[in-house]
Amino acid sequence: MLETLKTLGLQKNQLIKDIRTATPKDGFRGLPSIDINADENWQECMSVCPTGALKVADGEASIDLGKCTLCGECARYCKNDGIKFSKFHKLGAVNREDLIVNGELNPIKCKEEIKKFFGKSLKLRQVSAGGCNSCEMELNACSNANFDMGRYGVDFVASPRHADGVVITGPVTKNMAKALEDTYFACAEPRIVIVVGACAISGGVFQDSEEIDRSFFERHKPDLYIPGCPAHPLTIINAILDFIGAK
Ligand code: SF4
């Protein structure tokens, strides 16, 4: 008992009181911006990007957060600060095209019907469709003592029968394609689809692999995109809360 109290005293209260205003620690790479006028060798800069997320051409520049692994390689390669990553972590979007950014991101607007159905309670089934376990670990962290996503009525459940939708991680390997489809249809209607991480959104570094089967997304459009590699718990929770219209 004494030991337990001692440990609690050392750890103090680990709960992040306000998820909405909390920020990731220093070193976090968030929303990028590109200065097209900076004196950089943009062709070579683009060539170091492992996913083709960076595009600089015809006087326009953007990074596709749906593909970007936030590895920072492009910024390291720039000699004159042509690319910078801010600490801004609220990177979720409801439209795929909104993830193609240069310094700004459209905030998520909650739809009334989504708020009506899921505003107070959202149960999700996670499907790791060939993920490396990084996004899965961060999703797990969302429910731990620090982030405690459950306080907002958002929880992961063991069975898709109890779920309002699926959270997909990984590029969707051929071996997981049917299991993903089955899980989706096992959820109650109206079911939602949330994709977490560059792999799930675009295939990420596996986008050209013959071992993936992303036809699921041709049949079922994601309702919410949450970028990262892996996505940060604060990014994940804030995107979900914005999506369901929670305070
Ligand atoms: S940070 Fe993103 S855009 Fe830059 S090299 Fe890495 S994946 Fe490409």
Please choose from 28, 45, 73 the residue to mutate so as to test ligand 1's pocket, defined by most ligand atoms within 8 A of CB.
73
- Structural domain contains residue 176: yes
Tokens 């929770």 correspond to 237
Q: Which residues of 131-166 are buried (b: 16+ CB within 10 A; e: fewer)?
A: bbebbbebbebbbeeebbbeebebebeeebeebbbb
- Structural domain contains residue 103: no
- Structural domain contains residue 217: yes
| 219 C-beta neighbours (distance < 10 Å), count | 8
pTM of structure? 0.95
Domain, as residue range, for 162: 112-244
- Structural domain contains residue 26: no
pLDDT of residue 204: 98
- Structural domain contains residue 232: yes
- Structural domain contains residue 226: yes
Distance from residue 107's CA to the centre of ligand 1 (Å): 22
Distance from residue 214's CA to the centre of ligand 1 (Å): 22
Phi, psi of 62 (to 5 degrees): -160, 160
| CATH number for 191 | 3.40.50.12280
Query: If you take atom 8 of ligand 1, which residue's CA is the nearest one?
Result: 49
Contact 166, 125 (CB under 8 A): yes
Tokens 């999506």 correspond to 243
pLDDT of residue 198: 98
- Structural domain contains residue 152: yes
Residues 22-35 have pLDDT tens digits of 999 999 999 999 99
Cα pseudo-dihedral 119, 227, 132, 233, rounded to 10: -50
- Structural domain contains residue 172: yes
The DSSP bridge pattern shows strands 32-34 and 83-85 to be antiparallel
Distance from residue 71's CA to the centre of ligand 1 (Å): 5
Closest CA to 129 of 165, 171, 187, 186: 171
Number of domains present in the structure of the chain: 1
> What token pair was written down for 207?
């986008």
Taking 70 as the pLDDT cut, the residues of the chain under it are none
Ligand 1 binding pocket, CB closer than 6 Å:
48-51, 53-54, 63, 68-74
